[in-house]
């Protein structure tokens, strides 16, 4: 990140404005008796597009059923925006640039965390909320240093700079990686994402990523998490600790080394597979034969173990944050592995994580029932690869082998159907591409008039600021 004088000035002005600007509600004007806090709960399904939404509805509620999401009174679509370094528009995004749009309003480059296309830090809705006296939290099933949570409280130019070890460069996934030298602590920067999160104004931070916090701060004898503890941050590592979070002070909960384990997998760990195609068909598409992969069932992931559910983390965060501020709260909740399991061609994995999102939504709505001015928003960062295909093919009656050129999983549904999911965006192992469709948008009744039927991610950002009465000063000239 580069922190310009102008943006420092802007933050100072913003802080001042936020402390002195009249609130949108009656809270500030009278006694605490008349105070009604305002809160925003932003739930992000990573890679959660309409194909994934429908997959989950078909599996979890049945084809004629209704998800909790479907019952929400506000629904729309969000267009994704991405620019290349030369300023050209790109039509598919990643979680870093899109979470940065939601968090800061900037339209930026793939891979950027809280920084705009000119590598300038952009103030986030969480930072503004914290400055204004709201309690703040980030909850994710990924590493908390992963792109989505990171974009709300850190500022680096490349998302892979999650911990100190890599931030000044090195090797990543077997490839040389230049790191984020301008952000590295040893170069006078604010450090890796983990280092920045250790200092960030996030009251409650829950998810995975212990690996990055357990790395040493360059030039110091402490790890990132030891440094945080020395500053008074309460650190938890076990699901059971969620039940008795302290009612004040900062909390960092790290429940896995990297991303949290997902809830479900396919039979015996199977993911989507290629059709078995005869050699004759390889010579001429009209000849030979093909055999589809056998159907699979969704089963519990045996590695899930003591992983806390997204709903449990969400409930703990909401309870803890509500105790911390009379003004209200800002909480971002991410079901991260809808996307990660789609990359891996595992529809059961994605569906289980959408079930987690549904449960987290239910927790948010219960909180909103008890706390009237709570705006609940659900959206996604970008679309993903999975597609629901006809089972059998529309062309099954033609006496020619017909099959996907990609990989297919045939998932048995509880209602007795077989849902065929196709992954065919590239030839890579375990790494499908994102796709570029607009993504769903949902809101509770409070969202009526706050959200619009069609928005961009920067509009959602502005809507959250407006609802919380926050004033964003332009951090770019």
User: What is the distance between the alpha carbons of residues 169 and 180, in angstroms, rounded to a whole number?
Assistant: 7
Question: Is position 88 an interface residue for a second copy (rule: CB under 8 A)?
Answer: yes
Question: Which one from 23, 39, 95, 337 is the annotated catalytic residue?
Answer: 95
Q: How far is the CB of 93 from a second copy (least distance, A)?
A: 8
95 catalytic per annotation: yes
Cβ nearer to a second copy, comparing 284 with 294: 284
Q: How far is the CB of 66 from a second copy (least distance, A)?
A: 7
CA distances from 155 to 45, 112, 162, 300, 423 (A): 22, 8, 11, 37, 33
**How many residues sit close enough to a second copy to count as binding (CB under 8 A)?**
77
Contact in structure between 179 and 167 (CB atoms under 8 Å): yes
Q: Which residues ranging from 428 to 467 are in contact with a second copy (CB under 8 A)?
A: 428-429, 431, 433-440, 453-454, 456
Cβ nearer to a second copy, comparing 173 with 279: 173
> Which range binds a second copy by CB under 8 A, 19-27, 85-93, 123-131, 366-374?
85-93
Cβ nearer to a second copy, comparing 81 with 315: 81
Cβ nearer to a second copy, comparing 92 with 233: 92
Q: How far is the CB of 26 from a second copy (least distance, A)?
A: 29
Cβ nearer to a second copy, comparing 248 with 289: 289
Strand partners, 454: 77
Q: Which of 350, 425, 444, 475 binds a second copy (CB under 8 A)?
A: 425
User: What is the distance between the alpha carbons of residues 237 and 235, in angstroms, rounded to a whole number?
Assistant: 7
Coil, strand or helix at 376: strand
> Which range binds a second copy by CB under 8 A, 73-81, 194-202, 295-303, 365-373?
73-81
Cβ nearer to a second copy, comparing 71 with 291: 71
Maximum CA extent, the chain: 82
Question: Is position 47 an interface residue for a second copy (rule: CB under 8 A)?
Answer: no
Contact in structure between 469 and 38 (CB atoms under 8 Å): yes
Which of 350, 428, 411 shows the shortest CA–CA distance to 386? 350
Q: Which of 31, 32, 244, 427 binds a second copy (CB under 8 A)?
A: 427
Q: How far is the CB of 412 from a second copy (least distance, A)?
A: 11
Q: Which residues ranging from 383 to 402 are in contact with a second copy (CB under 8 A)?
A: 383, 385, 387-391, 393-395, 397-402
Pattern of binders to a second copy over 197-216, x per CB under 8 A?
Answer: --------------------
Task: Give me Rg for the CA atoms of the chain.
Answer: 23
DSSP 396-462: TTSSS----SSEEEEEEPTTS-EEEEEE-S-S-TT-PPPB---EEEEE-GGGBTTB-SEEEHHHHHH
Contact in structure between 368 and 444 (CB atoms under 8 Å): yes
Question: Is position 295 an interface residue for a second copy (rule: CB under 8 A)?
Answer: no
> Both tokens of residue 308?
């806390």
Q: How far is the CB of 226 from a second copy (least distance, A)?
A: 34
H helices of 249-346, where? Answer: 279-283, 310-322, 337-343
Question: Is position 72 an interface residue for a second copy (rule: CB under 8 A)?
Answer: yes
User: What is the distance between the alpha carbons of residues 26 and 126, in angstroms, rounded to a whole number?
Assistant: 22
DSSP 14-57: HHHHHHHSPPSSGGGGS-GGG----EEEEEEETT--HHHHHHHI
Question: Is position 276 an interface residue for a second copy (rule: CB under 8 A)?
Answer: no
> Which range binds a second copy by CB under 8 A, 27-35, 75-83, 123-131, 352-360?
75-83
Q: How far is the CB of 413 from a second copy (least distance, A)?
A: 8
CA distances from 90 to 60, 104, 113 (A): 34, 19, 17
Cβ nearer to a second copy, comparing 158 with 245: 158
Question: Is position 74 an interface residue for a second copy (rule: CB under 8 A)?
Answer: yes
Question: Is position 62 an interface residue for a second copy (rule: CB under 8 A)?
Answer: yes
DSSP state for residue 249 in the 8-state scheme = S
Cβ nearer to a second copy, comparing 148 with 307: 148
Question: Is position 219 an interface residue for a second copy (rule: CB under 8 A)?
Answer: no
Q: Which residues ranging from 151 to 180 are in contact with a second copy (CB under 8 A)?
A: 173, 175
As annotated, the active-site residues are 95
């Amino acid at each position: 990140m580069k922190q310009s004088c102008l943006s420092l000035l802007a933050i100072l002005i913003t802080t001042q404005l936020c402390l002195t600007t009249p609130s949108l509600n009656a809270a500030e004007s009278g006694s605490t008796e008349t105070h009604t806090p305002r809160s925003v709960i932003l739930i992000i399904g990573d890679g959660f597009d309409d194909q994934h939404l429908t997959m989950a509805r078909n599996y979890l509620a049945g084809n004629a059923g209704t998800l909790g999401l479907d019952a929400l009174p506000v629904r729309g679509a969000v267009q994704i925006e991405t620019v290349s370094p030369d300023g050209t528009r790109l039509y598919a995004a990643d979680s870093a640039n899109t979470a940065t749009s939601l968090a800061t309003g900037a339209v930026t480059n793939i891979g950027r965390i809280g920084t705009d296309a000119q590598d300038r830090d952009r103030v986030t809705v969480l930072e503004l909320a914290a400055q204004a006296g709201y309690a703040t939290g980030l909850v994710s099933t990924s590493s908390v240093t992963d792109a989505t949570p990171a974009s709300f409280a850190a500022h680096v130019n490349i998302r892979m700079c999650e911990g100190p070890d890599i931030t000044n460069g090195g090797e990543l996934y077997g490839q040389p990686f230049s790191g984020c030298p301008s952000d590295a602590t040893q170069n006078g920067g604010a450090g890796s994402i983990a280092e920045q999160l250790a200092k960030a104004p996030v009251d409650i931070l829950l998810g995975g990523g212990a690996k990055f916090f357990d790395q040493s701060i360059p030039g110091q004898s402490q790890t990132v998490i030891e440094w945080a503890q020395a500053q008074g941050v309460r650190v938890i590592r076990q699901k059971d600790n969620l039940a008795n979070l302290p009612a004040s002070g900062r909390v960092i909960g790290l429940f896995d080394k990297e991303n949290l384990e997902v809830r479900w997998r396919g039979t015996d760990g199977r993911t989507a597979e290629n059709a078995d195609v005869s050699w004759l068909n390889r010579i001429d598409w009209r000849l030979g034969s093909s055999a589809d992969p056998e159907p699979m069932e969704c089963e519990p992931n045996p590695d899930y173990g003591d992983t806390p559910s997204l709903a449990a983390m969400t409930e703990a965060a909401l309870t803890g944050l509500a105790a911390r501020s009379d003004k209200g709260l800002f909480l971002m909740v991410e079901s991260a592995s809808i996307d990660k399991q789609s990359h891996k061609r595992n529809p059961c994995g994605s569906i289980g994580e959408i079930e987690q999102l549904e449960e987290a939504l239910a927790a948010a709505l219960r909180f909103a029932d008890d706390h009237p001015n709570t705006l609940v928003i659900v959206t996604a960062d970008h679309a993903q690869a999975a597609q629901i295909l006809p089972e059998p093919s529309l062309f099954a009656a033609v006496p020619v082998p017909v099959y996907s050129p990609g990989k297919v999983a045939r998932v048995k549904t509880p209602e007795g159907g077989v849902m065929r999911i196709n992954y065919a965006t590239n030839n890579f192992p375990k790494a499908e591409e994102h796709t570029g469709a607009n993504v769903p948008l949902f809101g509770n009744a409070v969202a009526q008039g706050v959200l619009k039927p069609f928005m961009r991610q920067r509009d959602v950002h502005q809507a959250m600021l407006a609802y919380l009465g926050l004033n964003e000063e332009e951090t770019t000239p």
